[in-house]
Amino acid sequence: MMSRLAPRWPAWLFWWQAACPQGVSAQQRTWAGASRIPGPGGPWGATGTSPLVRRGSSSAFSCAPEVVLTRERYSVRRLPFSVVSEDDLAALERIVPGRVITDPEELEAPNVDWLRTVRGSSKVLLRPRTSQEVAHILRYCHERNLAVSPQGGNTGMVGGSTPVFDEIIVSTALMNQIVSFHNVSGVLVCQAGCVLEELSRYVEERGFVVPLDLGAKGSCHIGGNVATNAGGLRFLRYGSLRGTVLGLEVVLADGTILNCLTSLRKDNTGYDLKQLFIGSEGTLGVITAVSILCPPKPSAVNVAFLGCPGFAEVLQTFCTCRGMLGEILSAFEFMDAECMKLVGLHLHLACPVQESPFYVLIETSGSGAGHDAEKLSGFLEQVLGSGLVTDGTLATDQRRIKMLWALRERITEALSRDGYVYKYDLSLPLDRLYDLVSDLRARLGLHAKHVVGYGHLGDGNLHLNVTAEAFSPSLLGTLEPYVYEWTARQRGSVSAEHGLGFKKKDVLGYSKPPEALQLMQQLKALLDPKGILNPYKTLPTRT
């Protein structure tokens, strides 16, 4: 149950209305209960959060132009793996009977990434149901030197989950069983193919939340989330998967099952092997099951959506917010005016506040509705009074909270509808975070349709996106290595949370020293000596 805070908003609301600049209507200035947000049937449609079309499905863009084959667009050479033969298909059929897919039409979607930027040419997809089946598959592929591309919900941003050439796709789609859930500890154990949103629903019914939330939740698999070390919207509150994932079961390249599926909060017996696989994008092993610690579900959640006059004010709002909201702050997201424009243009979502150069979404989650409302009230009074925020709206019930979140979560979808998207996912020092967006807007001029900046400000994570009518090598040349060099000068990360996959693997060196690259190559050689696991991904092409 979400508590409504509206009846508690006191004097400051009226004070703020009185202090509000001229020309803003009384209705626009109403805060309580987010009354300016259209209800079901309004421009946002009936659902709040989930993309209208699930990621991983290609039907969203059925009229979009064909995606160029990766091997044709990028300079990449096939490694000397075996080619799948009729004998191989027969052998695989014995391992996963009835679940060897070779129909070209069925293979269309899993060969293409959700963003429609890369395309493989795999001829076979396998749908194992158990870790043992995955083990048999990998043992066979290892012996036969057949390359494998593990695939979850195929919602990644960097081409990490689609084949590059003819790798066998091993899908976790049928590995979707919950193994156990402990009602006191909140430890959830499940197979890798469970969809995040379904897990979320399952644990929320039991009074807990999954410590991870992201826009793709309706399609992404928990195994893929862990394999990419997904960050997402709850990172600020619950931290990294490196802390919340308690155990993993992983199948190694040679088919060995590594069972580290513990449910213990603490375990210092030897090296923490699961960490090797978190964020390694399926290149060191295939994650088949996950044990994750779910925190208790907060009884009170509020979302404020605010307009700020400049990025300096966004930063000051963040500092004020962290100080005044403390332990109940659960998200601090920002987006610029260009994002809002695209969300309106392509998804018909209306901006719930006065037009502003920047918008901020703040979520609080706590155990006492009254206390949280008081804290939030004090904070809003402060930021409105000092001019850091010029307009805003507040949601306290679940439906309206989802509607406000949709503005932020669906930016990726809006961008995809705008054309070809050049995506950058950077960690930068907070005080320089937005400078790159401004620099790039000036640098690109009319060569780009839109240059937008948004992201998880609380984590120092900028999503910088550039859209254009179509892919263009010359535009790419203007963007890269410029963006990476800019980031490296700030000692930032060229991939904060999306990973490297296929598209970013060659820029690893901008964020890591040569000694680190060498050790990564050694780990890859140790765990996957034949290199059959998700080849052409994560690590730079050896020269």
Q: Which of residues 461-490 bind its own copies (CB under 8 A)?
A: 461
Residue 364 main-chain phi, psi, to 5 deg: -115, 145
Alpha carbons 254 and 273: distance in angstroms, whole number: 17
Q: Closest approach of Cβ 418 to its own copies, in Å?
A: 25
Please select the residue that binds its own copies; options are 88, 113, 459, 528, rule is CB under 8 A. 459
Q: Which is nearer to its own copies, 96 or 520 (CB)?
A: 520
Alpha carbons 11 and 3: distance in angstroms, whole number: 20
Q: Which is nearer to its own copies, 374 or 397 (CB)?
A: 374
* Contact flag: residue 259 with its own copies (CB under 8 A): yes
Q: Is 309 buried (19+), middle (13-18) or exposed (0-12) by CB count in 10 A?
A: middle
Which residues within the stretch 39-68 sit at the binding site for its own copies (CB under 8 A)? Answer: none
* Contact flag: residue 512 with its own copies (CB under 8 A): yes
Which residues within the stretch 173-192 sit at the binding site for its own copies (CB under 8 A)? Answer: 184-185
Please select the residue that binds its own copies; options are 465, 495, 502, 533, rule is CB under 8 A. 495
* Contact flag: residue 121 with its own copies (CB under 8 A): no
Contact string (CB under 8 A) for its own copies, positions 307-346, x = contact: ------------x--xxxxxxx------------------
DSSP for residue 540: P
3-class secondary-structure state, position 161: coil
Pairing of β 245-251 and β 461-468: unpaired
Which residues within the stretch 393-432 sit at the binding site for its own copies (CB under 8 A)? Answer: 427, 430-431
User: Which tokens in the block code for residue 374?
Assistant: 């008081």
Which residues within the stretch 348-367 sit at the binding site for its own copies (CB under 8 A)? Answer: 365-367
CA 250 to chain CA centroid, nearest Å: 22
* Contact flag: residue 263 with its own copies (CB under 8 A): yes
Q: Closest approach of Cβ 281 to its own copies, in Å?
A: 9
How many residues of this chain interact with its own copies, rule: CB under 8 A?
87
Please select the residue that binds its own copies; options are 18, 59, 266, 542, rule is CB under 8 A. 266
3-class secondary-structure state, position 456: strand
Contact string (CB under 8 A) for its own copies, positions 439-458, x = contact: -----------------x--
Please select the residue that binds its own copies; options are 126, 498, 533, 536, rule is CB under 8 A. 498
Alpha carbons 243 and 82: distance in angstroms, whole number: 39
Q: Which is nearer to its own copies, 22 or 269 (CB)?
A: 269
* Contact flag: residue 271 with its own copies (CB under 8 A): yes
Q: What is the dihedral of CA 24, 25, 26, 27, to 10 degrees?
A: -120
Whether cis (ω within 30° of 0) applies to the bond prior to 481 is yes
Q: If you write DSSP's letter for every residue of 172-211 in order, what string do you get?
A: -TT---EEEE-TTT-EEEEETT-BHHHHHHHHHTTTB--S
| Beta-carbon count within 10 A of 41 CB | 8
Please select the residue that binds its own copies; options are 106, 204, 272, 355, rule is CB under 8 A. 272
* Contact flag: residue 132 with its own copies (CB under 8 A): no
Residues 6+ apart with CB under 8 A from 366: 298, 299, 300, 327, 328, 372
